Structure 1
Amino acid sequence: MKTYSFLSRFKNSTVIMFKLLLLCTLAVASRAEIAEEEDVLVLKKSNFDEALQAHPNILVEFYAPWCGHCKALAPEYAKAAGILKAEGSELRLGKVDATEETELAQEFGVRGYPTIKFFKGGDKESPKEYSAGRQADDIVNWLKKRTGPSVATLNEVTEAEALIADNEVAVIGFFKDLESAGAKALEKAAEATDDVPFAMSSSDAVFAKFEVSKDSIVLFKKFDEGRNTFDGELTKKELLAFVKSNQLPLVIEFTEQTAPKIFGGDIKSHILMFLPKAASDFQGKMDQFKKAAEGFKGQILFIFIDSDIDDNQRILEFFGLKKEECPAIRLITLEDEMTKYKPESSDITAESITEFCKAFVEGKLKPHLMSQDIPEDWDKTPVKVLVGKNFEEVAFNPSKNVFVEFYAPWCGHCKQLAPIWEQLGEKYKDSADTIVAKMDSTANEIESVKVHSFPTLKFFPAGEENKVIDYNGERTLEGFTKFLESGGKEGGAPATDDDDEGETEVSLPEPMEL
């Protein structure tokens, strides 16, 4: 009996040990199943939690295979993953095909591609949105700042040289006392800056190498003048302004990679030069543009757009330009309201551009509003055709209820809506007090009506001067009819600048596809 009891206990403990061993083996096998592509972890709903346990600090890209912006990001994303892996860093990069892993995408509120989120310390509940550029260095620097000290300490000349060589822009504080007030101010500025690495040094050899004789802060960069020395008051605010004013080239080319820096920066006034790189006088005009930029550093961002590139054609359309009209200059402000300005002169000289920018800074320019000519048959079809030149006369007619679709010819959602909008026009074509209309907002602009997305639907009720109601209901014939019959009460809301029900943003195309 005792022997049986012993054997029984032995068998039971063996079974338990076997089960534990099996579970451990399965766990290891499961971890091994997290595949990698070019050092990037391939994540799915089935292995996502496990990945967070194995790699507590992980940056995850939610992408769509067909997304052009995702394809452009892929090589830099993989390069960043390789850099971190080669360093033996605990930081890892992962990716999720959001078109396949729809539940996972929905769980993290993915609405556009690519969406990039950082899961720190395995925290699945509140991931941080990635907010820096899309070059490998941008990604690596951003992650390191999120998990390590905001300012590195440089003890050797080789360390400083490597920092400068490995980054497009780097900031180094030269302080004899690393606990000084200036050093503390630098740390605060570094904590608030995602896309530039910061370091400091008290080494006499580092001071001598970079010809610094006293406490200083220097921004090193691989363009323009090469370096800038801070000469303001040593405060976080002043240092941030210094970095933001000098971290971008005097003239920056608009590309997939530079777009996040252009839109993510604090400078919201942008002057754009549309010019084909293949033009015989390209360098001459670029030199003039750059010369003008010197006087507006920190105030206006100077951006060059190659008008020959197919991907840039939508930007030209947005400004009402055609290839054959280039070279051309336009200015846009993204603060409060998006407003465009057009110079009176078509000359591209440093003097004319400087004069144009100076007038803008002084508030002396009037917005440039595009308008097509009024079509002869604009009111002959069930859906009336509005342009800038006849909009206010029709939309603000006190005896008419006017329902307007603001659309873009290239917008997929607008194309889907088109047949329903035509049906609505047909239904009300004989109405004495209701007009259904549409306006191409890529070619026509109205000062009193701001359109932030396509399609935007707005209702202008009769007898209520300048009142505008945004339509937020179902985009069906029944929904539209109910809205009109209720006088704009069913499915509508007072128009606000923040109300943005459209799917396609009306701005210079950022790296996102919805």
Structure 2
Amino acid sequence: QDLRGEAAQAFYELAGDLVDVAFGAAEAPELFEAYGLAADTVCVFKKFDEERADFPLDPARGLDAAELSRFIRVHSLELLMEFTSETSDRIFDAKIPHHMLLFLNKTEAAQLELQGPFREAAAAFRGKVLFVLVDVSGYGAGVLPFFGLTPADAPTLRFVKMETNRKYQMEEDAFSASAVSAFVQAVLDGKVKPNLLSAEPPEDWDTKPVKVLVGKTFEQVAFDETKNVFVKFYAPWCSHCKEMAAAWEELGERYKDHEDIVIAEMDATANEMENIAIRGYPRLYYFPAGPGRKMIEYKSNRDVETFSKFLENRGTLPEEPPVVSSVPLPQARGPPCAPGKRQPSA
């Protein structure tokens, strides 16, 4: 009701930051009456869902720009977002920490009916959990391997914690609004264990110089107290992983006869561990022998010699003295010219 006060100024500044949102300000009493308002309020008008969302201002605190920015961001998203090429950036940039996904085949009429109860469940979790529809017969098919799914698995539900990529699923899919709500709340309350992906171990996984680990075998190998285990976590499509593949194979050959050293690798896109989240590829971790379940990340050069120094030094790299090079003195050329003068020519 005061367009020149501190709250209004904070509102104007936020308008300058959120250039993709149209802002307006009004203080006319008839507008307050028309929209049923009695106090300072930011109204977000949209063309979907409830069409209007109100952000009342606390007279004692004024306008919190960060809170309002998040409120606008949350309400700029539909209650149920479909994952498409047009919406994917908005979904990932929403900064909502958890996503609840419904995978369905939009060519199947019976599966389309599941959207209603799923949307109904979403309302209570707005801002905390983003509900997303994934069409396995369209653009959404591209994310199925990340969940270990195929189109034939639809319809099915998954909950994802975005910070850790931990995935959760019902013991048996139930698609009613009450069942979905109860499951989401149980995950938020820490009452559901994550569903960890694991490929099947190859028959020859431990016969080659570089051992092939999967989710099911990781614990027994990495935390074997009699072994020092050096593991490369990779993604099959990662160019940096491909570049270092030859060096890792050579490292395996070099240490294949060492009883207490294991060189291993694991496809981190197809396998997950309960207490270790892999972000970015490749990631190299050393698990030293002995008790304590210790883990050391390797962050140096990706070549065989540096890897070997790291292993021989039991998980650290010895400090090397700085390389000091000598710079020869310039050849004598006579006294330098004084400013504004020239040396006489010979």
TM-fit CA distance, 1:195 = 4.3
In structure 1, how many angstroms separate the alpha carbons of the residues matched to 2:182 and 2:124? 11
**Amino acid across the alignment from 2:246:** P
1:489 aligns with 2:322: no
CA distance 1:448–1:203, change in 2 (3 Å) = closer
TM-fit CA distance, 1:281 = 2.7
Residue number in structure 1 paired with 2:215: 388
1:304 aligns with 2:129: no
In structure 2, how many angstroms separate the alpha carbons of the residues matched to 1:349 and 1:341? 17
TM-fit CA distance, 1:390 = 1.6
1:323 aligns with 2:148: no
Residue number in structure 2 paired with 1:225: 50
**Amino acid across the alignment from 2:220:** E
| Alpha carbons 1:244, 1:298 under 8 Å: kept | no
In structure 2, how many angstroms separate the alpha carbons of the residues matched to 1:236 and 1:193? 16
| Alpha-carbon displacement from aligned partner over 1:63-110 (angstroms, at most 9, x marks no partner) | xxxxxxxxxxxxxxxxxxxxxxxxxxxxxxxxxxxxxxxxxxxxxxxx
**Amino acid across the alignment from 1:322:** T
1:287 aligns with 2:85: no
Residue number in structure 2 paired with 1:277: 106
TM-fit CA distance, 1:232 = 5.9
Q: Which runs of 5+ in 2 are unaligned?
A: 320-346
Residue number in structure 1 paired with 2:326: none
**Amino acid across the alignment from 2:249:** E
Residue number in structure 2 paired with 1:473: 300
CA distance 1:185–1:472, change in 2 (3 Å) = closer
| Alpha carbons 1:472, 1:491 under 8 Å: kept | no
Instruction: Report SS of the residue matched to 2:215.
Output: coil
1:362 aligns with 2:189: yes
| Alpha-carbon displacement from aligned partner over 1:227-273 (angstroms, at most 9, x marks no partner) | 22334635433544543442210011223443333233342111122
Equivalent positions of 1:96-495 (< 5 A) are 175=1, 177-179=2-4, 183-184=8-9, 186-187=11-12, 190=15, 193=18, 195-203=20-28, 211=35, 214-215=38-39, 216-231=41-56, 233=58, 235-237=62-64, 239-240=68-69, 242-309=71-138, 312-335=140-163, 337-463=164-290, 465-490=292-317
| Alpha-carbon displacement from aligned partner over 1:202-251 (angstroms, at most 9, x marks no partner) | 3577668x655655432111111222233463543354454344221001
| Alpha carbons 1:425, 1:436 under 8 Å: kept | yes
TM-fit CA distance, 1:464 = 5.3
| Alpha carbons 2:104, 2:136 under 8 Å: kept | yes
| Alpha carbons 1:186, 1:236 under 8 Å: kept | yes
| Alpha carbons 1:320, 1:442 under 8 Å: kept | no
| Alpha-carbon displacement from aligned partner over 1:116-152 (angstroms, at most 9, x marks no partner) | xxxxxxxxxxxxxxxxxxxxxxxxxxxxxxxxxxxxx
Instruction: Report SS of the residue matched to 2:77.
Output: coil
| Alpha-carbon displacement from aligned partner over 1:455-490 (angstroms, at most 9, x marks no partner) | 111111222531212122222222322322222222
| Alpha carbons 1:414, 1:454 under 8 Å: kept | yes
In structure 2, how many angstroms separate the alpha carbons of the residues matched to 1:300 and 1:196? 23
In structure 2, how many angstroms separate the alpha carbons of the residues matched to 1:448 and 1:363? 15
In structure 2, how many angstroms separate the alpha carbons of the residues matched to 1:290 and 1:346? 16
**Amino acid across the alignment from 1:325:** D
Instruction: Report SS of the residue matched to 2:148.
Output: coil
Q: Which runs of 5+ in 1 are unaligned?
A: 1-174, 493-514
| Alpha carbons 1:345, 1:352 under 8 Å: kept | no
**Amino acid across the alignment from 1:224:** D
Instruction: Report SS of the residue matched to 1:390.
Output: helix
| Alpha-carbon displacement from aligned partner over 1:299-352 (angstroms, at most 9, x marks no partner) | 111112222336x445221222122212221111234x3422122222323222
TM normalised by structure 2 equals 0.80
**Amino acid across the alignment from 2:160:** I
| Alpha carbons 2:42, 2:57 under 8 Å: kept | no
CA distance 1:423–1:414, change in 2 (3 Å) = same
CA distance 1:181–1:314, change in 2 (3 Å) = same
Instruction: Report SS of the residue matched to 1:462.
Output: coil
CA distance 1:191–1:366, change in 2 (3 Å) = farther
Q: CA RMSD in A?
A: 2.8
Residue number in structure 2 paired with 1:12: none
TM-fit CA distance, 1:180 = 5.1
Residue number in structure 2 paired with 1:143: none
TM-fit CA distance, 1:279 = 2.6
| Alpha carbons 2:233, 2:282 under 8 Å: kept | yes
CA distance 1:236–1:193, change in 2 (3 Å) = farther
**Amino acid across the alignment from 1:252:** M
CA distance 1:346–1:318, change in 2 (3 Å) = same
TM-fit CA distance, 1:414 = 2.2
In structure 2, how many angstroms separate the alpha carbons of the residues matched to 1:408 and 1:327? 27
Residue number in structure 1 paired with 2:331: none
In structure 1, how many angstroms separate the alpha carbons of the residues matched to 2:175 and 2:187? 17
Instruction: Report SS of the residue matched to 2:207.
Output: coil
Instruction: Report SS of the residue matched to 2:25.
Output: strand
TM normalised by structure 1 equals 0.56
| Alpha carbons 1:471, 1:491 under 8 Å: kept | no
In structure 1, how many angstroms separate the alpha carbons of the residues matched to 2:5 and 2:11? 10
Number of residue equivalences: 314
| Alpha carbons 1:461, 1:487 under 8 Å: kept | yes
Residue number in structure 1 paired with 2:343: none
| Alpha-carbon displacement from aligned partner over 1:11-61 (angstroms, at most 9, x marks no partner) | xxxxxxxxxxxxxxxxxxxxxxxxxxxxxxxxxxxxxxxxxxxxxxxxxxx
